[in-house]
Amino acid sequence: YHPDKQKADVPAGEVEERVQRFIEIDQAWKILGNEETKKEYDLQQREDNLTKEWPLHAQIYLEDMSWNEDEQCYTLSCRCGGNYTVFKSETKDVSLVCCDTCSLVIEILQ
């Protein structure tokens, strides 16, 4: 896909598609090659996948969850008997949380 590696007999439309693909690959490398942008990308992908695949059970404010001082995390009981858990280190990054035993998801409101 590299623009410098194009053959002379490639149709113009295909050259344009290849250049566009090269740009997409270059952007992906820039995002995934940087630890901070990769983390943001991974979180966004996780949230997108959760909202597409798993049912949203509720929208909850973090302060409505129970704080566990020993484990440094917030928890909320799910209707299935499992728990939603958000660790203190994740509170700024996480907006969707999966139940640890079923397919339900809660959204953490800011």
65 and 104 housed in the same domain: yes
103 and 69 housed in the same domain: yes
Residue 4 forms part of a structural domain: no
**CATH assignment at residue 71:** 3.10.660.10
Residue 3 forms part of a structural domain: no
Range of the domain at 45: 12-51
Q: What is the pLDDT of residue 51?
A: 62
pTM, two decimal places: 0.52
Please count the structural domains in the chain.
2
pLDDT in tens, the chain (110 residues): 566 666 777 777 787 888 888 889 989 999 889 988 888 888 888 777 766 666 778 899 999 999 999 999 999 999 999 999 999 888 887 788 889 998 888 988 87
Show the CA angle centred on residue 77, arms to residues 72 and 82, nearest 5°.
100
Residue 64 forms part of a structural domain: yes
Cα–Cα distances (Å) from 102 to 8, 53, 55, 95, in that order, read: 56, 13, 10, 18
41 and 62 housed in the same domain: no
Q: What is the pLDDT of residue 20?
A: 87
